[in-house]
């Protein structure tokens, strides 16, 4: 009887060992399959956003318009181009230009301008941005005016190593069609600010989609609400957007989108831009 029990135990134990080995052999395959599925899902989201951007550029609504955009992924600290179109083209930036003024002011003056920068960016206050630019000019050249202020701001970003080719400023707010900047430069300023000691102040000064400032009516009730901080800009025939995105998958993006000379209804344009923003959030 004991011999039979022993034999039974040996058989069961052997079966258990074989099952474990088979399970271990299959495990890497399962991990590999999961990794493949993840990559395929990421590619699908990437392709979806790319299609949305192409649809935007080729939309009949913007038939005679000029569109430029840049999207960076800076999740790992360095920037990686995800998409870009007319990135180096000089365009009218409207109020997204304020990021050049307020970013420089924060780094030059520090804490004394924290509150002013927040109010300026959150609600897009033109006269405050203009005053900040002139103060920057006064500090650098001893002259409180737009000419020296604009020169000081442009030189500030050039000295930081940014390519300012195509940049021309006549005020600190972006209120004039005479102001010119490239989508890439705005994206580079945003990336440069991520390494600054004043970045938390700068970041929190930007309107939050669906919640605050000039973005409070954007992406309401969607996955994008609370995930995009961006400066908006508007002039006759001009709309612009520049800021940061926290995606649902945990990525960190920087984006600039500028539209010049559009002639479709603003409501339709907003819907199209929101679709792109949601595409970034889902990336």
Task: Please work out, in degrees rounded to the nearest 5, the angle formed at the alpha carbon of residue 227 by the alpha carbons of 276 and 192.
Answer: 85
Give the per-residue pLDDT at 38: 60
What is the token pair recorded at 139? 């500090």
Task: Please work out, in degrees rounded to the nearest 5, the angle formed at the alpha carbon of residue 283 by the alpha carbons of 241 and 118.
Answer: 35
158 touches 152 (CB < 8 A): no
Dihedral in degrees, nearest 10, Cα atoms 92, 191, 272, 97: -30
What is the token pair recorded at 11? 């058989």
105 touches 172 (CB < 8 A): no
Distances (CA, A) of 204 to 81, 98, 119, 170: 24, 14, 11, 26
Architecture of domain 47-281: 3-Layer(aba) Sandwich (3.40)
Nearest residue to 217 via CA among 232, 203, 204, 205: 232
What is the DSSP code (8-state) at residue 171? S
Q: How many angstroms separate the CA atoms of 210 and 228, rounded?
A: 9
Kindly report the pTM of this predicted structure. 0.86
- Residue 122: its H or E element: helix 114-123
104 touches 136 (CB < 8 A): yes
Give the per-residue pLDDT at 45: 87
Give the per-residue pLDDT at 162: 97
Q: How many angstroms separate the CA atoms of 150 and 40, rounded?
A: 47
Buried/exposed code over 36-52 (b: 16+ C-beta within 10 A; e: otherwise): eeeeeeeeebeeebeeb
First to last CA, the chain: 66
Q: What is the pLDDT along the chain (283 residues), one digit of tens a residue?
A: 545 544 444 444 454 444 545 544 444 444 446 667 666 777 888 989 999 999 999 988 888 899 999 999 999 999 999 999 999 999 999 999 999 999 999 999 999 999 999 999 999 999 999 999 999 999 999 999 999 999 999 999 999 999 999 999 999 999 999 999 999 999 999 999 999 999 999 999 999 999 999 999 999 999 999 999 999 999 999 999 999 999 999 999 999 999 999 988 999 999 999 999 999 999 9
Give the per-residue pLDDT at 62: 84
Q: Write the CB contacts of 207 (distance below 8 Å, at least 6 apart in sequence).
A: 121, 122, 213, 214, 215, 216, 229, 230, 231, 232
The 10 Å Cβ neighbour count of residue 143 is: 14
In the chain the beta strands, taken as DSSP E runs, fall at 66-73, 80-85, 228-235, 238-246, 252-260
Task: Please work out, in degrees rounded to the nearest 5, the angle formed at the alpha carbon of residue 111 by the alpha carbons of 105 and 113.
Answer: 45
What residue segments make up the domains of the chain, in order of their start? 47-281
Give the per-residue pLDDT at 205: 98
């Amino acid at each position: 009887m004991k011999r039979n029990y022993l034999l039974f135990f040996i058989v069961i134990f052997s079966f258990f060992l074989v099952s474990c080995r088979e399970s271990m052999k299959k495990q890497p395959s399962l991990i590999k399959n999961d990794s493949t599925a993840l990559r395929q899902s990421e590619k699908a989201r990437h392709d979806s956003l790319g299609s949305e951007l192409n649809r935007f550029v080729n939309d009949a609504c913007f038939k005679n318009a000029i569109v430029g955009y840049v999207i960076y992924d800076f999740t790992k600290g360095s920037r990686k181009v995800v998409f870009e179109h007319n990135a180096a083209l000089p365009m009218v930036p409207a109020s997204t230009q304020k990021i050049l003024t307020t970013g420089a002011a924060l780094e030059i003056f520090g804490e004394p301008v924290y509150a002013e920068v927040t109010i300026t960016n959150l609600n897009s206050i033109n006269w405050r941005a203009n005053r900040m630019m002139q103060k920057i000019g006064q500090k650098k050249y001893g002259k409180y005016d737009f000419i020296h202020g604009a020169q000081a701001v442009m030189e500030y970003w050039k000295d930081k190593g940014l390519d300012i080719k195509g940049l021309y400023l006549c005020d600190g707010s972006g209120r004039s069609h005479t102001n010119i900047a490239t989508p890439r430069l705005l994206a580079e300023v945003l990336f440069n600010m991520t390494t600054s000691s004043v970045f938390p102040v700068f970041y929190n000064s930007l309107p939050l989609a669906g919640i605050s400032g000039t973005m409070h009516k954007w992406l309401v009730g969607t996955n994008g609400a609370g995930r995009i901080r961006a400066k908006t800009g508007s002039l006759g025939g001009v709309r612009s957007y520049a800021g940061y995105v926290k995606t649902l998958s945990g990525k960190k993006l920087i984006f600039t989108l500028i539209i010049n000379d559009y002639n479709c209804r603003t409501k339709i344009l907003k819907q199209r831009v929101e679709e792109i923003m949601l595409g970034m959030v889902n990336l």
